[in-house]
Amino acid sequence: MKARYLLIILPLVYGYGLLTVTAKVFPFEQIQAVKHALVGIPDIRMVETGRYTVAEDAEEHEDRLVLVTYGQSNAVNTGQLGYEVKHPIYMVFNGDAYNYADPALGGTGVNASVWGRVGDNLVDQGITSSVFFVNTGWGAASIWDLGEGHRFDFFADQIRQAQARYGKIDGILMHHGERNHHMMEGSDTYRDGFQVFNDRVRALTDAPIYLSQVSYCGVRKVDETLLSIQDRIIREVDGVLRGPNSDLLLEVQYRLPDQCHFSARGLDVLAEMWTDSVTISSED
């Protein structure tokens, strides 16, 4: 009798397991969160506002740039700590502005992101007097992860609130690709995943997407196929502009010991690359 029940139950469990992976139903996201934790990528979003200072003077900056940041771990708080902003640089969370500080509010991870440096550079170059970053990235996410589910829902909600409060979104800075390396999720469907993401973004805003070229992460060396796909998207898709190619920063000095995330020196150079991308667009 027990064997008969097992013959019924085991195929059902197996079938539901396949459905979990293919349709990403419960408990797909829970399993993914555990997996990310086991490989050392903090799946923790910085949402507790009590540790940050409300920016009382934020409304005074009428020429502000409002930039949404999105992508995976190198778009969020996985770099080397130690940088402090010099200019009026802010983080926007649920529509409210806070003085920028690492780990940046709204991103996952517990260390530093590149965006404070980018903001200071943009002010130094006279592009604006202040920058408001809406941080929405999620470590270890594939391009498909970023276009659906709770990650995209958070991204979309933060864009809506920022637009309602500050009147505009000037750009979406997207650092992404490591997860779609051919050794991981695969690069062959990257363009399809990006198109799904892009279509959903256009229902929210017509702000340009600055897409980086990224594939390198430690033992996962440069994926030339993925870089080529990202380059074609930048050249061919309306509203997508060229972000930095961070795969150019492969020397040991630019990376932390995991050879995936960025050292302070690497964040300095990456910030210069992001600044150049935004500056070139602003001058067009």
Query: DSSP alpha helices (H): ranges in 113-223?
Result: 115-124, 143-146, 149-166, 190-202
The CA distance from 24 to 19, in Å, is 7
pLDDT at 229: 98
The CA distance from 233 to 194, in Å, is 9
pLDDT at 40: 43
Instruction: Note the CATH number of domain 43-283.
Output: 3.40.50.1110
pLDDT at 59: 86
pLDDT at 23: 46
Domain locations along the chain: 2-37, 43-283
pLDDT at 28: 44
What number of other Cβ atoms are within 10 A of residue 265's Cβ? 15
Residue 167 to residues 91, 117, 176: CA-CA distances in angstroms? 16, 24, 27
Q: Token pair of 166, please?
A: 């500050």
pLDDT at 260: 96
pLDDT digits (tens, 9 = 90+) for 75-119: 999 999 999 999 999 999 999 999 999 999 999 999 999 999 999
Residue the block writes with tokens 């195929």 = 11
Rounded to two decimals, the pTM is 0.85
pLDDT at 27: 61
The CA distance from 91 to 96, in Å, is 8
- The DSSP annotation for 211-269 comes to EEE---BTTB---HHHHHHHHHHHHHSTTEEEEEEGGG--SGGGB-TTSSSB-HHHHHH
Give the chain's residues under pLDDT 70: 1-43, 281-284
